[in-house]
Amino acid sequence: MELVFLGTSAGKPTSDRNVTSIVLNLMPERKTIWLFDCGEATQHQLMKTDLRLAKLEIIFITHLHGDHLFGLPGILTSRSLMMNMSPVKLIGPKGIKRFVETVTEVSDSILSYPLEIIELEDEGVVFEDATFKVVARKLEHRIVCYGYRIMQKDETMRLNIPKLQADNIPVAYYPLVKNGDVIELADKRLINAKDYLEPPIKGKIVTILGDTLPCDATIALARDADVLVHEATQGADLVEKANMRGHSTTVQAAEIAQKSQVNHLILTHISPRYPLWQSRKLLKEAQAVFAHTDIAKDLAIFPVN
């Protein structure tokens, strides 16, 4: 599992940064990718990576400001031209359905794959299957905006294959071993299946927030996360300006990471006022509060450890 930052600028693109979009690369876990926000030219950025649009499974939109949304029509229709029939889920605030339907109708675009649009009107679980669960909560921004907590479920009942083989346990019994019961083998041996199970592997937690002021929801979503992705639109000296517009500073993001006891903080959504060479200054502000902080640049890749 890894995070790939396709765009890291706030409001508008710059010569160094495209607008917001992040890929959660789940190819090892489920052979798919998830996209969080889809600013202008997201598909152009995606083509600069090793990731494939055909593997897109779910798109999560935090809010309906253009720098998080205007790349969506291109992503959806380009994928359609590939004649890829695997379905896509689109999850976002109320209004996302009307946006997509209007664009596709006016442009006479036809999607060649099933698109399920889920509009969020409340907080809670927005996706869950056998391996992942995603929870959304409302943040504090100028319009309705969500943050997402992505939880990989613990991997349990893993077989200790070398031990099974060493004790000559036939493969036909492996499904029974996973149930953790006492098993009588054909040769009349009794084995305790629990002796052949590996300890569970704890699932990873990734929190990806939309634009927000510091608030209780950010802490709840980020609590004990392996990685927190938090906006840092302005430097610490522009706290009033940032907060007035529903944004956070470098230091405020670091304070949220500290209070939430996360392992790793990644800053993104950087104001165009800061050229790329000023990233070091912004990073130092945050690291003074929370040491394990990085600041993303376009096409940066961060493993989820």
Length of the chain: 305
The residue written with tokens 């054909």 in the block is 186
Residue burial 49-80, b: 16+ Cβ < 10 Å; e: rest: eebebebbbbbbbbbbbebbbbbbbbbbbebb
- What SS3 string covers 39-56? CCCHHHHHCCCCCCHHHE
Active-site position among 37, 67, 211, 298: 67
Decide if 67 is catalytic.
yes
> At how many degrees (to 10) do helices 250-260 and 279-287 cross?
40
Identify the three-state secondary structure at position 7.
Answer: strand
The sign of the dihedral angle between the CA atoms of 265, 135, 20, 74 is positive
CB atoms within 10 A of CB 116: 10
What are the residue numbers of the active site? 67
